Chains A and B, each alone.
Chain A
Amino acid sequence: MKDRDKVQELLESLSPKPLPPELKKKLLSTAYRKQNRFQIITPVLGKVFSICCVLVVMTFVFDLMITDSEKKNLTAIMDGSQTSELMIELDLKEIAAELFKNEYDKSLNQWLIRLYKTKKKSAKFTNYQSIIDILKE
């Protein structure tokens, strides 16, 4: 055994003895049995738990969306930016009267409504007080 290659060859010719097949089976089956015994959440329970978690998350998300939408509606009501068309028409009648000192003119009112919508689209104002300022320009 003086040659280095011979030592390596010798070691390479060795191999571990095979494990008895019954020992392999025993080790795996015991491990699975132990795993089942200590399992707190069974597969079915795990799936139910996952579905419940998803539903809870969805509830939170929808709640946030609904709250946000309600907040916007409340804000709109408070500053009047989402008032109905009828209210716009009535308010603009007063504005027309103030600005033009004329009696109520339907075509003038419609013109004011169009102007209001155009200005609203360009986001120049959010409440009726600024309508008067813009129309006075």
Chain B
Amino acid sequence: MNLEEIFDSIGDKLFNYLTIKLSSPLDAEDVLQEVCFRLVRYKVRFRFIRNPSAYVFRVARNEALRFLKSREKNPERYHSGEDLAKVIQDNLTGIENGVMNQVAEALALVPEDQREVIILRFFEELTLREIATVCDVSINTASSRFRYGMQKLRQLLEG
């Protein structure tokens, strides 16, 4: 599998994940550019990777974390994070606006690590094992975060 094929299959999901993680589509574009450059530079590794999707998401996550650290140190150099609920609503499709608004606001209130697992599970369609690889945690930890995140989300949506 080469880089173009991978990008065709998961490019949308990558961008969506980064946009929600960074709360900014412009920052997500910058980070995705950096991810592409790294993947082009180390393309020989694809031959030895069993799960290229999880690998690419892991690279993207690491780049996003690096970006967030840098943004914390020099906030004036970067765009400020937009309203997360609005970003989530703008980047997802599939249900009517009223319900989407509710879901987006509820997701924005879920703790960040739990929200990340929910987004990767439902929107990026990764398995829990892949999510554990991406987030560099054990499967049990990923599973717990998913469970608690879903509980929190149900409480917020039941409201």
Contacts and interface: CB of A to CB of B under 8 A. Distances in A.
Interface of A: 1-2, 4, 7-8, 10-19, 23-24, 27-28, 30-32, 34-35
Nearest to B3: A28
Contacts of B37: 30-31, 34-35
B49 interface: no
B contact face: mostly helix, strand, loop, or mixed: helix
B40 A11 contact: no
A87 B36 CA distance: 77
Contact of B12 (A2, A11, A17): A17
Interface string B64-105: 000000000000000000000000001111110001100100
A17 B91 contact: yes
15 contacts: A1-B157, A1-B158, A4-B154, A7-B150, A7-B153, A8-B122, A10-B99, A10-B103, A14-B92, A14-B93, A14-B122, A17-B12, A17-B93, A24-B11, A31-B40
Interface string B12-40: 11011000000000000100110011011
A80 to B, nearest CB: 58
A8 B123 CA distance: 11
A30 B29 CA distance: 12
A74 B11 CA distance: 69
Contacts of B3: 28
A84 B37 CA distance: 70
Interface of B: 3-4, 7-8, 11-13, 15-16, 29, 32-33, 36-37, 39-41, 90-95, 99-100, 103, 118, 122-124, 150, 153-154, 157-158
B92 A17 contact: yes
A18 B99 CA distance: 20
B117 to A, nearest CB: 12
Contacts of A24: 7-8, 11
B92 A16 contact: yes
Contact of A14 (B7, B103, B157): B103
B36 A27 contact: yes
Given A24-B7, A34-B37, A12 B157 contact: no
A2 to B, nearest CB: 6
A35 B37 CA distance: 7
Contacts of A11: 103, 118, 122-123
B92 A28 contact: no
In the complex, the 8 A-B pairs of residues with the closest C-beta atoms, listed nearest first: A16-B16, A31-B36, A11-B122, A1-B157, A31-B37, A31-B40, A14-B94, A14-B92
